[in-house]
Every structure is written in structure tokens, then in C-alpha cells.
Structure 1
Amino acid sequence: MSAGVRPPAVRFLGGLGALCAFAALGQVVSGVLPLPLPGSVVGLLLLWGALSAGWVRLPWVEDTADGLLGVLSLLFVPATVGVVAFLGAGWAWPVWLLILTAGALVGGGVAGLSAQALARRADDA
């Protein structure tokens, strides 16, 4: 084996370590600074910045990220089990469905208006 080639398991573990390190760093930054963002989002922003700056190279984390995306549906199993556990919540469900629908409509509306504004700005430039 040449010096520059690492086995797939080593590449995966190295990428997982990098992703976990950015997630942990995001938790620390979110806990120290009064940011209105969860630590996981801060960690992703830090990873994005590190990738953009060239401090982290995409091949270092790409295989791991692709592998995690491949099992993403399994990561939703606990959330689904939680929803099923509260199926007997009775009248709380219509309220939650109303809130979720309103949130989706407001979010979609804001996204649409933002896209229109950006498209107009791009056309004017």
C-alpha cells in the first residue's frame, strides 16, 4: 500500500471524527455565545466555513457524509416512534397540525418572496 492511500475504514473514521469534532465545536460555541441557533447548526456553519477556507478538504469528509446520508431514513426512526407514542394525545393533534401547517405556509411564503426579491435583484444587476 502506498503512503498516500488509506483504507476505506480509516477514511470513514477520519471523516466521522471530523464531523463529530465540528458538531461538538458547534455545541460549545452555541453554549458560550448567545446565539439563537442550535449547536448542530452552528457546527454545520463552522464546517462550511472550514471547507470554504480550505482548512478542511471535501475528500476528507465526503465518503463519511455520503455514508450517513445513505442511512438517513434510519435516523428518523426514533422520531417516528415518538409520534406513535403520542397518538392518543386526543385534542392536541388538531392544534399541532394547525401549527405545523401554518408554519409550513409561512416558511414557504417567506422563501417564495425571498426568491422573487433575489431574482429581481439579479435581473437588475
Structure 2
Amino acid sequence: MPTPYRTVLMLRALATLLVFQCLGEGVSYLFKLPVPGPVIGMLLLFGFLMLRPQIADAIEPTALELLRHLSLLFIPAGVGIMVSAGKVRGDALAVVVSLVVSTTLAIAVTALVTRALLRRQRNEPAAQERAQ
């Protein structure tokens, strides 16, 4: 059972995450951007965490707990897809193709970024040694 202090920290972290999601929704709505609000909110949160890294330490336990239960968040979307399956039946091929292409692109970009970051991480100690 979580202690009251831990509960307060978790609620504060959840509130922070929700504030940035709402900010993203607001920016997306006000500027009529084609980017979803939660994506903009995530970018705003990323920028904020770059400026205030100590906040990341406070948010991390709650974020990890949310990630542990992430699959539960897909249930409403899955039910919505099943309920609307009849309406989308004519566009099934387009949906499947777009899912396959976007998933492939996401995996490829993730792999390239990971490889670049790992190379950079390996080169940093060598650069620090040369600087000394």
C-alpha cells in the first residue's frame, strides 16, 4: 500500500502530465494544427524537462507505473474499432496498408535514432579523454 507521501508525489506527477497534455490540446486547437494535442503536449513536456531535469526524476516513477499498465489504455480504442468495423470495411485495404507502412517507418526511424545515439554515447568518453 502506497504511503500518503508517495500518493501525493504520484498525483503531482499525474497532474503535471495532464497539464502538458491539456496545453498541447490547447495549442493544437488554437492554431488549428494537424498534429494531435497529446503529441504537442509531449514535445512541450520534453522541452520543459530539458530546462528542468530535476522534474524528470519526480515524474519518472509515475510514468513507469503508467507504462506498466499501458495495454489497458488500448482497450477503449480496440472496442471502438470493433464497433466501427462495418463503417470502415470499404477502406480496409487503405487502413491495413497505412498501418503497415507507418509501423515500418516508425521502426526504421527508431532504429536509426538508436544507432546514432549509441554511436554518440560511445564517442563521448573518447572525446572527454582527449579534452583532458
Asked if Structure 1 and Structure 2 have the same fold, meaning a TM-score greater than 0.5 normalized by the shorter chain, the answer is yes
Where do 1:1-125 residues align within 5 Å? 7-54=5-52, 57-88=55-86, 90-105=89-104, 107=105, 111=109, 115=112
What is the letter of the counterpart of residue 33 of structure 2? L
The answer to which structure, 1 or 2, has the higher relative contact order (CA under 8 A, 6+ apart) is 1
Distance apart, 1:98 and its partner CA: 3.2
Unaligned runs of at least 5 residues, structure 1: 1-5
Distance apart, 1:56 and its partner CA: 6.1
Distance apart, 1:67 and its partner CA: 1.2
Alpha-carbon RMSD: 3.0
Aligned length: 112
Q: Return closer, same or farther for 1:80/1:46 CA change in 2, 3 Å cut-off.
A: same
Give me the whole-angstrom Cα distance separating, in 1, the residues matched to 2:98 and 2:19. Answer: 35
Unaligned runs of at least 5 residues, structure 2: 121-132
Distance apart, 1:73 and its partner CA: 0.4
Give me the whole-angstrom Cα distance separating, in 2, the residues matched to 1:108 and 1:23. Answer: 22
Give me the whole-angstrom Cα distance separating, in 2, the residues matched to 1:50 and 1:80. Answer: 32
State the identity %.
34
Higher helix share: 2
| Structure 1 residue ranges (4+ consecutive) displaced by more than 6 angstroms after TM superposition | none
